[in-house]
Amino acid sequence: MNSESRVSLRWPVLVVAAVVLLAVGAGAAYVGMRSRVPDRPSSNEQATMPGTRMPTAGPTTEQRASGPRALEPLPDVVVTLSQEAVERAGITATAILAGTTSGGVRAPGVVEANAYKQVVVTPVISGRITRVVADLGQRVRQGQMLAQIFSPELADAQTRYISARAELEAHEQELIRTEKLVAIGAASRQELERIHAGHTARRADLESAASRLQLLGLSADAIEALGPGKNQGATTSVPAPIDGVVTERLANVGLNVDQATKLFTVVDLSSVWVVANLYEKDFAHVRVGSPATVTTNAYPDLVLQGRVSYIDPQVSPETRTAKVRIEVPNARNELRLGMYAEALVGDGGGASTPMIPRGAVQNVGDRTVVYLVNPKEPGTFVEREVRLGAATGDRVSVLAGVQAGDVVVGEASFSVRAERERLGLRAVPTSTQGATASTSATGPRVTQDVDITLTSAPAQPKVGNNTFEATVKGADGKPITDAEVTAMFYMAAVPAMKMPEMKNTVTLKHEKEGRYAGTGQVMMAGKWDVTVTVKRAGKEIGSRKFPIAAQ
């Protein structure tokens, strides 16, 4: 073979080799790119891959389900108190009984007078009171005399009536004589017509004087008895306008009065109004005409039936409630004005469920708990989270956490809660929603440089205004007199009991020797957390939380 033939044989081989090398290089590059970009997983795989951060706007369903609310209730916590502490706090135990919950809407209310049967008594004449017969709280009948008034105005009106009556009688005699003279031609008919006109005017004057006396309170018989030479009095009586009870008396002997002076208030208590507070979430369940059942703490066995007659179109911005008026009979006058009552609006009926006293329930952050009693170990209590249902009277149903037959702390359960918080057995749980309110009201006790104590007058606060006094001392035990002290009252919302969150802040002013006092309003009975905060020059130097029970 010569050299030319050898060269011609190499070219095909080289071409094939180049093509193979290019193919191998392209495949290697493709494989390398695939190794740097992994396959996109499915949505389920994406959520479960460990270490993967997803750019979501909020927690996923799985993340939300992992929160404390979606899992089992909080574990039980054992709180131990000495026997002396139990006795001092007045802790009592009560067994959980099965009861029936009501299917209607419960609303607290107050007994008020029926405004359509309430009359303010004022005199119809000016003068001076000479006698008062009716007393406060006395039952009176319509027309019964309540007081007597001496009135110069009445004496003058009687004199005018007597004078008008005498003039009319004299003119009647003149008319009779004139008619006789006209009959025999001794007087003209023109003279007779003039006397007739004068007689009509005299009669009108007499009727005007009689009407004036009637307006001043004289009866028709008393007016008829007036005449020349007869005794006429300047005293009139103030009668009761309706049957009822005197609920207000402002009349006293010697008081000068006129037609605008309020003397008495008389109320017919045969029927009264129960004005209840209805929360916004219950508006859809109550209508005018809805049946209602009213009960009171004063008469537990007394059950009154009524109907909703009015729903206030305005909502209170403070309590977020509307007034609902229920008219109920009060034949035996057992309901007194101002009494607290509870109204069940709507149809009753419900299922059997464990029932516990309201006083046994404590709010810990956004949870509700009770304290179980261990009969075998006196002074040992178990804090357990419960889920509440509807309230019936002074008891509330429990949907989960305890069962009928268990024994729980009834009264003074807040003392057990306070001991648990003092020992720090569990941090107060809070949820993402409402974290600001929960943290401010139930945060841990802070005592940087001060010692704070809190007292109240009365010792157990009542609904309404109470006096609170905080004593503030420094770490050296000396009173702090230049601080800014506030007390914040907080009660967490309990949706199951239809109670909204309540909060109220009071400024306590320095009086002397580190004692700061002020008047605070407790909006309703129950357990409150009071956080006393001490600031100096705008900077907080200490705070402390106190549990109180208002009645």
Per residue, the 3-state secondary structure of 150-211, as one string, reads: ECHHHHHHHHHHHHHHHHHHHHHHHHHHHHHHHHCCCCCHHHHHHHHHHHHHHHHHHHHHHH
In this predicted structure, the answer to whether residue 178 has a pLDDT above a threshold of 70 is yes
In this predicted structure, the answer to whether residue 510 has a pLDDT above a threshold of 50 is yes
Task: Answer for the pair 238, 146: CB distance below 8 angstroms, yes or no.
Answer: yes
132 and 233: one domain? Answer: yes
127 and 212: one domain? Answer: yes
Look up residue 169 and give its two tokens. Answer: 């009688």
In this predicted structure, the answer to whether residue 346 has a pLDDT above a threshold of 90 is no
Model confidence at 52, pLDDT cuts 50, 70, 90, reads very low
Asked whether residue 398 is assigned to any structural domain, the reply reads no
202 and 310: one domain? Answer: no
Q: Show the domain range for 273.
A: 105-114+268-345
pLDDT of res. 122: 92
pLDDT of res. 446: 40
229 and 187: one domain? Answer: yes
pLDDT of res. 103: 60
CATH of the domain at 333: 2.40.30.170
Model confidence at 368, pLDDT cuts 50, 70, 90, reads confident
Q: How far apart are CA 280 and CA 272, in angstroms?
A: 25
Average pLDDT in the 157-183 region?
80
Asked whether residue 478 is assigned to any structural domain, the reply reads yes
Asked whether residue 11 is assigned to any structural domain, the reply reads no
Average pLDDT in the 9-14 region?
50
Domain end position, chosen among 345, 379, 406: 345
Helix (H) or strand (E) holding 145: strand 145-150
256 and 277: one domain? Answer: no
In this predicted structure, the answer to whether residue 8 has a pLDDT above a threshold of 50 is no
290 and 319: one domain? Answer: yes
The DSSP 8-state label assigned to residue 325 in this structure reads E
Domain end position, chosen among 345, 360, 375: 345
Asked whether residue 254 is assigned to any structural domain, the reply reads yes
Average pLDDT in the 300-308 region?
89
In this predicted structure, the answer to whether residue 294 has a pLDDT above a threshold of 80 is yes
What is the domain count for the chain?
3
Rounded to the nearest 5 degrees, what angle is found at the Cα of 549, between the Cα atoms of 548 and 551? 145
Average pLDDT in the 193-209 region?
83
Sheet bearing 139-140, strands edge to edge: 118-121, 264-267, 244-249, 139-140
pLDDT of res. 360: 81
220 and 278: one domain? Answer: no
pLDDT of res. 442: 36
pLDDT of res. 53: 34
In this predicted structure, the answer to whether residue 201 has a pLDDT above a threshold of 70 is yes
Asked whether residue 427 is assigned to any structural domain, the reply reads no
Asked whether residue 242 is assigned to any structural domain, the reply reads yes
522 and 450: one domain? Answer: yes
Model confidence at 31, pLDDT cuts 50, 70, 90, reads very low
252 and 284: one domain? Answer: no
258 and 308: one domain? Answer: no
Asked whether residue 377 is assigned to any structural domain, the reply reads no
34-43, 350-359, 408-417, 528-537, range with greatest mean pLDDT: 528-537
Task: Answer for the pair 126, 261: CB distance below 8 angstroms, yes or no.
Answer: no
The overall average pLDDT reported for the chain is 76
127 and 110: one domain? Answer: no
pLDDT of res. 252: 93
Q: How far apart are CA 377 and CA 389, in angstroms?
A: 30
225 and 244: one domain? Answer: yes
Asked whether residue 374 is assigned to any structural domain, the reply reads no
In this predicted structure, the answer to whether residue 119 has a pLDDT above a threshold of 90 is yes
Domain end position, chosen among 345, 364, 395: 345
Pairing relation of β-strands 484-491 and 526-536? antiparallel
pLDDT of res. 23: 59
